[in-house]
């Protein structure tokens, strides 16, 4: 029997033994824990009362206790409006100790285990998912723990290490964020055959490993979307100290990342080559979306044997309505994800195994919920992709905790602030719930809210005042913006003047303004290309933006740029004969905006100039024109030639001609259309692929 087959059979039969024998029926008890008004106010008391296979749902609150899981139960944290449940041990010891096989811990914030671990695992077949583990001596530690699955966790500010593995085998550690710890992950020589991939490591030292057989790449080819492009590859991890580059835009480094041995920075490779991450990620894992396993014949893995891990993922069917009393209810059936594995013929086994599993009342032993988490601090060549400005969606299980991480992100809006609620019209509260104040634009306040009709998270703009000037600007914004439907333009989803004027639009989580600059040239080209495509679409419909700048470029979680704030745009056909001066940001202003008498009226080429300023900033980290006063900046824009991008960043030379053509003073010397700019960018991309 091969290692592949043996591992699958072991995991399946462990599942059957744990839950089929100990829990012979699919009906089990569900216990609810809350600071008040529930059957239990102490988590450990609920565990002591539970039987193997029971579910313990813990509502939001702070629980000052140490927890021992000595029987296979599911411990699930739920944000019921008070935030995720926080577990903090009194005395600073280990917060959660998992001693039984087949447990699940999901959806908690675990903190301040000053002398122990946030979670210590001394058993097998457990799932630890979607937890925030912070300010502990060790984040998650393993001792003689095998076949555990860890995903979606954020581990930060550990004084020893984020992950510690001692004499532990065949564990899967994937899709976790490990940042700002003394060491990211340590493995001793007895911790063998672990699989560690699709994680983000950004720590004082990222890895110390003596394990010669653990894998640092996904065991199968993964399909994913990177910078808007669907691709396939084996996936390793993001390492903040990795200096390699990608050659074909798939986000995978062409040079392996070397794993350190002991305290040495110079790793000694084993003969099998397993002390390298052969497929290191160029960016933090949040850049790689829609990640799913595949066995595409178009991608092969060289130099590494083909191990396999059976990853059981659960579909979340836990009821999220708080319960005040203990009630018997069906245990949520876990749905295993299907992995088609190489060199393994399972069709004949599956029917029998499914029957056994159904008769045993089990679908899997592990719990998983998708969670989007924050990005770690990144070096200059791999900046944080964007700044979160809105709260996470409730259905992800664990809300964002940006204020707890040392990353350049905004704090989560607090909808409880009275001054924020005052700005949102009471008349609209019939349409929206979960209202959070985001900020103020030129003529409107912006809120995050959920539509009551379908629970969709949207952004809502409300005019600051209703005087004649503000009303005119606001209505002009509506008339231009609501006509635009393009992947690179924030979409307006509803407009009305009743019961009060408002605009509802697509929710986009971040802004290009928060991205640390400079960024790699090829990544800047990706962004500029998307913005140019949005402008090309708008220009062909007679709409010019006139205020392109980082603040007005929102960025999705897969780094797709979307142009927002069309409040300064004009409808060319109707505005051509009107004498009005649109607002703009001086640092990104075109010469014709500063001195229309010398350079003429603004038009579509104005947007291309401003996009050139943005392009310049992305690849150099500096705006082309600066000064100590408005007069100095204005004079520089009209009269001076900026330094060539290569003077800031030699790697910007391949796009230098494109950038400088955008920045020509005379509009007739620039690209005349966004389509021309796109053709030039396509030429750069063609050369880059050669």
CATH code of residue 609: 1.10.510.10
Q: What is the average pLDDT score of the chain?
A: 75
Judgement on whether residues 51 and 165 belong to the same structural domain of the protein: yes
Number of domains in the chain: 3
Please check whether residue 123 lies inside any domain of the structure: yes
Tell me what pLDDT residue 390 has: 32
Render pLDDT for 187-229 as a digit per residue (tens, 0 to 9): 999 999 999 999 999 999 999 998 888 999 999 999 998 887 8
State residue 379's pLDDT score: 34
Task: Indicate whether 378 pLDDT > 90.
Answer: no
- Same domain for 486 and 633? no
Is the residue at 368 inside a domain? no
Q: Is residue 85 in a domain?
A: yes
Among 506, 541, 559, the domain boundary falls at 506
Which one has a higher pLDDT value, 326 or 448? Answer: 448
Q: State the DSSP code for 550.
A: G
pLDDT given for residue 619 in this prediction: 95
| 293-320 confidence digits (pLDDT tens) | 875 444 433 333 333 333 332 332 223 2
State whether 100 and 191 are in the same domain.
yes
For range 450-472, the mean pLDDT: 78
Using pLDDT thresholds of 50, 70 and 90, give the confidence band for residue 260: low
Same domain, 530 and 621: yes
Query: Measured at the alpha carbon of residue 266, what is the angle toward residues 261 and 269, in degrees to the nearest 5?
Result: 65
Residue 479 in tokens: 């008339």
Contact 317, 333 (CB under 8 A): yes
Query: Does residue 181 sit in the same domain as residue 91?
Result: yes
Pair (490, 517) in one structural domain: no
| Residue of 595, 589, 554 whose CA lies nearest to 568 | 589
Whether 301 maps to a domain, the answer reads no
Lowest mean pLDDT among 13-17, 379-383, 470-474: 379-383
CA distance 52 to 19: 8
Give residue 55's domain range.
3-217+261-268+306-360
Which residue, among 413, 429, 648, has the nearest Cα to 517 in the 3D structure? 648
Whichever domain contains 425, its CATH number is 3.30.200.20
> How far is CA 286 from each of CA 152, 219, 226, 380, 557, rounded to the nearest angstrom?
11, 20, 9, 17, 7
Task: Please report which confidence band the pLDDT of residue 466 belongs to, taking 50, 70 and 90 as the band edges.
Answer: low
- Residues 436 and 561 placed together within one structural domain of the fold: no
Tell the burial category of 659 from Cβ atoms under 10 Å away from its Cβ (0-12, 13-18, 19+).
buried
Residues 556 and 456 in one domain: no
Q: What is the arithmetic mean of pLDDT over 587-612?
A: 93
Query: In the listed set 292, 325, 360, which residue is the last one of a domain according to the structure?
Result: 360
Is there a single domain that holds both residue 496 and residue 520?
no
Which of 360, 387, 402 finishes a domain?
360
Q: What percent of the chain has pLDDT over 70?
A: 70
């Amino acid at each position: 029997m091969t290692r592949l087959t043996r591992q699958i059979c072991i995991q399946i039969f462990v599942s059957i033994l744990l839950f089929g024998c100990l829990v012979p029926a699919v009906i089990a008890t569900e216990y609810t824990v809350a600071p008040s008004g529930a059957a239990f106010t102490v988590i450990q008391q609920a565990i002591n009362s539970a039987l193997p296979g029971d579910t313990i749902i813990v509502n939001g609150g702070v629980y000052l206790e140490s927890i021992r899981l000595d029987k296979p139960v599911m411990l699930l944290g739920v944000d019921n409006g008070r935030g995720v449940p926080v577990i903090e041990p009194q005395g600073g010891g280990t917060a959660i100790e998992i001693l039984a096989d087949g447990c699940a811990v999901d959806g908690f914030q675990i903190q301040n285990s000053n002398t122990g671990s946030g979670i210590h695992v001394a058993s097998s077949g457990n799932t630890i998912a979607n937890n925030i583990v912070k300010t502990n001596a060790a984040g998650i530690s393993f001792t003689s723990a095998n076949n555990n699955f860890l995903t979606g966790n954020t581990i930060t500010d550990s004084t020893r290490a984020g992950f510690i593995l001692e004499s532990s085998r065949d564990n899967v550690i994937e899709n976790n964020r490990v940042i700002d710890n003394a060491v990211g992950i340590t493995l001793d020589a007895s911790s063998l055959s672990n699989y560690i991939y699709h994680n983000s490591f950004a720590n004082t030292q990222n890895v110390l490993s003596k394990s010669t057989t653990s894998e640092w790449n996904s065991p199968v080819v993964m399909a994913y979307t990177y910078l808007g492009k669907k691709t396939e590859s084996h996936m390793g991890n993001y390492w903040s100290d990795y200096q390699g580059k990608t050659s074909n835009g798939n986000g995978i480094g062409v040079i392996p990342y070397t794993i350190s041995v002991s305290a040495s920075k110079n790793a000694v490779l084993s003969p099998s080559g397993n002390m390298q991450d052969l497929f290191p990620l160029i960016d933090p894992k949040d850049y790689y979306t829609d990640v799913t396993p595949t066995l595409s014949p178009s991608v092969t893995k060289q130099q590494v044997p083909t191990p396999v891990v059976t990853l059981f993922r659960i579909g979340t069917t836990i009821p999220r309505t708080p319960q005040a009393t203990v009630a018997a209810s069906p245990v949520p059936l876990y749905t295993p994800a299907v992995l088609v594995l190489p060199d393994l013929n399972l069709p004949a086994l599956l029917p029998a195994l499914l029957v056994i599993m159904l008769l045993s009342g089990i679908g899997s032993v592990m719990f998983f919920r998708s969670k989007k988490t924050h990005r770690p601090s990144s070096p200059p060549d791999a900046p944080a992709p964007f700044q979160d400005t809105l709260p996470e969606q409730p259905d992800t299980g664990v809300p964002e905790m940006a204020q707890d991480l040392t990353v350049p992100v905004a704090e989560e809006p607090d909808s409880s602030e009275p001054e924020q609620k005052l700005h949102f019209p009471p008349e609209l509260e019939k349409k929206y719930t979960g209202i959070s104040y985001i900020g103020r634009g030129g003529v409107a306040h912006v809120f995050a809210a959920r539509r009551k009709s379908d629970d969709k998270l949207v952004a809502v703009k409300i005019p600051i005042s209703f005087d004649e000037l503000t009303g005119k600007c606001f209505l002009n914004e509506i008339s231009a913006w609501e006509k635009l439907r393009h992947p690179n333009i924030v979409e307006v989803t509803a407009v009305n003047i009743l019961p009060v004027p408002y605009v509802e639009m697509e929710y986009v989580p971040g802004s290009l303004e928060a991205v640390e600059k400079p960024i790699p040239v090829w990544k800047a080209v990706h962004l500029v290309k998307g913005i140019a495509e949005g402008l090309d679409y708008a220009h062909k419909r007679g709409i010019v933006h006139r205020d392109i700048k980082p603040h007005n470029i929102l960025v999705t979680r897969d780094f797709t740029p979307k142009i927002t704030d069309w409040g300064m745009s004009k409808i060319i056909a109707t505005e051509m004969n009107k004498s009005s001066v649109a607002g703009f940001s001086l640092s990104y202003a075109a010469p014709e905006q500063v001195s229309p008498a010398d350079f003429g009226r603004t038009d579509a080429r104005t947007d291309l100039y401003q996009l050139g300023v943005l392009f310049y900033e992305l690849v150099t980290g500096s705006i082309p024109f600066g000064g100590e006063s408005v007069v100095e900046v204005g004079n520089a824009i009209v009269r001076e030639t900026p330094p060539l991008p290569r003077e800031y960043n030699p790697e910007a030379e391949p796009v230098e001609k494109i950038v400088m053509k955008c920045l020509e003073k005379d509009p007739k010397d620039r690209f005349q259309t966004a389509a021309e700019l796109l053709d030039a960018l396509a030429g750069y991309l063609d050369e880059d692929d050669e």
